[in-house]
Chain A
Amino acid sequence: MTKVKTLADLKKLREDLQEKIRLRESGEHPESLVQVKVAMATCGIASGAKDVMTFFMEELEKRGIDAVVTQTGCMGYCYAEPTVEITLPGQSPLVFGFVNSRKADEIIEKYIKKGELVDGIIPVTYQSINDNQKEG
């Protein structure tokens, strides 16, 4: 891991990382990566998020889809766990609730491959102080 020794280091590192994440999120190349985030807090894991994450990792590779699967914390939609956020290149993220392997399969086949929406989308109901950053 790079050592951050000075304020300048931190600023530089932040810019580099922001660029990296921006690339990943907005996708300079439309054919670039699909991003899958699985909510993996205790509650998510208890309702099966680990299996869902493994499913996505294995199946996306098997089906030859270029994707990054990462874990994240609680999204707040505890009533709909496990929850998964999918970001297709160049599109805004979508959250799906009650994801099991069957739903995950449907998401891969319909949403990730063809861009068709599937049942179970959770509408965003909040704003975050990081929203500006996301847009900017």
Chain B
Amino acid sequence: MVTQKMNIMVCGGTGCKSSNSELIVTELRRELQENGLADEVQVVQTGCFGFCEKGPVVKILPDNTFYVTVTPEDAHEIIAEHIIKGRKVHRLLFKDPVTEEYINDSKGMNFYKKQLRIALRNCGFINPENIDEAIARDGYAALAKCLTEYTPAEVVDIIKKSGLRGRGGGGFPTGLKWEITAKVKADQKYVICNADEGDPGAFMDRSILEGDPHSVIEAMAINGYCTGSNKGLVYIRAEYPLAIERLKIAINQAHESGLLGKDILGTGFDFDIELRYGAGAFVCGEETALIHSMEGKRGEPTFKPPFPSEEGYLGKPSNVNNVETYANISPIILKGSDWFSSIGTEKSKGTKVFALAGNVNNVGLVEVPMGTTLREVIFEIGGGIRNGKKFKAVQTGGPSGGCLTVKHLDLPIDYDNLIASGSMMGSGGMIVVDEDTCMVSLAKFYLDFTVEESCGKCSPCRIGNKRMSEILETITKGKGTPEDLDRLRNLGEVIKDTSLCGLGQTSPNPVLSTMANFMNEYEAHVIDHKCPAGKCRDLMTYRIEAENCVGCTACARVCPVSAISGERKEVHTIDTSICIKCGACMEKCKFNAVFVS
């Protein structure tokens, strides 16, 4: 019998909804009503549990029973057995694929542990505008530990041993960078935070600065202690007003508390931070361009070496790290390098934050240990593809990255695996596309972004990318030839080899990787002059199927260019020479009579 109040949680995520979870709710409520339990037990619809593979999912509280692949017909048994008699419905329990044991309590399930938040540890927990909450959650404890217990060289050693690599994209070992900066002798050094997050779709740096600015300030001070610098600079894009405001508040509060400024914690260590604003140029995320921009010069990259660690801002040694990299520092100091290096893969340690976007159900920020597979991120955490469509590809690393496909889904994500499969980690943008996406257009979208953002210094990038974009334009217009594909590939390889900075060297990646993985789509465009996904407007024709058309005139009335003619109650026709392919007729037609090919 019911002794305490129970709750039945039914997943209302898109994945479970599409497999009838709403009907399960109705059935459960009906069963409860019939048994006079409607007031005692509540049925609640929840957001996605992230276990869509085994959906619909039903969870019973307070005993944490987790039922998987539940059907509306199971409602009766759940109520009759579990709720009334207190016996779990064994056959609906989740069976662990490895141990083959049925799991009674969802706390014993592994999939809950897919995400581990290190960099995002305080995001969404503390009030970012109140330093007290940060301090209560160990804020500045790592700085204090460094200043009082370790020598600068010991701290560098901890970071080196942790295996932390730069989270901005390149994956350069952070400890090594710190060591190089520390070893250079100079009267002034700078600690720079790269908050010029420019990848379309990536927003983890903004979220960290908006949610936990103190983690970055603290880590910059630790870096200052290691490298012998008392001056920190945050290069942040002016398009992030809230992040700037919260960072300013945090810096002020740290000052007032004496955790920035002169003689921090009575140790004689001075450190201060200032902000520098960027105007949102993508290339300024490249460290040498970033430094030039801070100096008031044009944001153009220059040749390395000398590296900024040797000769950076105003010619002085400067340690440039990305926001997410800094956010990892304090936990490493407090929990030790062994703890950190126990997470992740052999050469990529710790976690990575991804901004999951595109045609995926649970768009959001996810932080997973390195080595998690794309499948786990997209299908389990991301809840699968929207509207029940099929997965086609995922673009990682933004415009500098590449497209990965179905065959890469079980690839453990780390720096080296992504590069080996023709993409890259980048800053962690992850854009998922479904079967309705034209890969040629997608490649063109990214390429157009780099054409816009190229600083213009090197001709391969400035002129070459422009030419590639023009060739892609011709192809999507249906005027491409098979020779265009060779030209694209050659051009792409030359640009890769001959550009100075990362932007140019990686800009052809979206084109080259889509060519490698979706050659059939390129061929369809240039040989058959067809777009398999039906997205390239110039390759489409709209027509009305005589069988389905009832002559309601709805399409003719909505056509903006009067391309549709026909009498009432008679079959209509589209004049393709006038049609601008806007698709309005197709949307309006209630009889599925308008087709596109």
Q: Which residues of A contact B (CB under 8 A)?
A: 1-7, 9-11, 13-14, 17-18, 20-21, 37, 39, 41-43, 45, 70-80, 85, 97, 116-130, 133
Contacts and interface: CB of A to CB of B under 8 A. Distances in A.
B365 interface: yes
Which of A3, A7, A21, A73: most chain B Cβ within 10 A? A73
A85 B124 contact: yes
A121 B133 contact: no
Interface of B: 7, 9, 12, 42, 44-50, 59, 112-118, 120-133, 135-138, 140-141, 144, 147-148, 203, 206-208, 210-212, 240, 242-243, 253, 256-259, 265-266, 331, 335, 361-367, 381
Contact of B258 (A4, A17, A80): A4
B44 A41 contact: no
Given A1-B253, A122-B46, A41 B115 contact: no
A133 B122 CA distance: 12
7 contacts: A1-B257, A10-B259, A72-B127, A119-B45, A123-B50, A126-B117, A126-B367
B115 A6 contact: no
A4 B67 CA distance: 51
Nearest to B335: A129
B265 A116 contact: no
Contacts of A20: 132, 136
Given A127-B116, A130-B121, A117 B44 contact: yes
Given A45-B242, A79-B361, A123-B50, 8 more contacts: A4-B257, A4-B259, A7-B266, A14-B138, A72-B123, A73-B124, A73-B208, A78-B363
A76 B45 contact: no
A20 B259 CA distance: 21
A7 B211 contact: no
Nearest to B59: A123
B136 A42 contact: no
Contacts of B362: 77, 79
A119 B365 CA distance: 23
Contacts of A124: 112
A39 B113 CA distance: 23
Nearest to B46: A121
B42 A116 contact: yes
A76 B131 CA distance: 22
Contacts of B141: 10, 14
A10 B265 contact: yes
Nearest to B353: A76
A80 B363 CA distance: 9
Contacts of A9: 265
A39 B365 contact: no
A116 B41 CA distance: 10
Contacts of A70: 127, 130
B266 A117 contact: no
Contacts of B125: 37, 72, 128, 130
B265 A4 contact: yes
Contacts of A119: 12, 44-46
A25 to B, nearest CB: 10
B364 A77 contact: yes
Nearest to B207: A74
Which of A41, A43, A118, A128: most chain B Cβ within 10 A? A41
Contacts of A120: 12, 45-47
Nearest to B117: A128
B252 to A, nearest CB: 10
A15 to B, nearest CB: 9
B116 A3 contact: no
A117 B7 contact: yes
Contacts of A73: 122-124, 126, 128, 207-208, 210-212
Contacts of B121: 128-130
B115 A72 contact: no
Contacts of B42: 116-117
Q: Nearest 4 pairs between A and B by C-beta?
A: A73-B211, A126-B115, A75-B124, A122-B47
Which of A7, A72, A120: most chain B Cβ within 10 A? A72
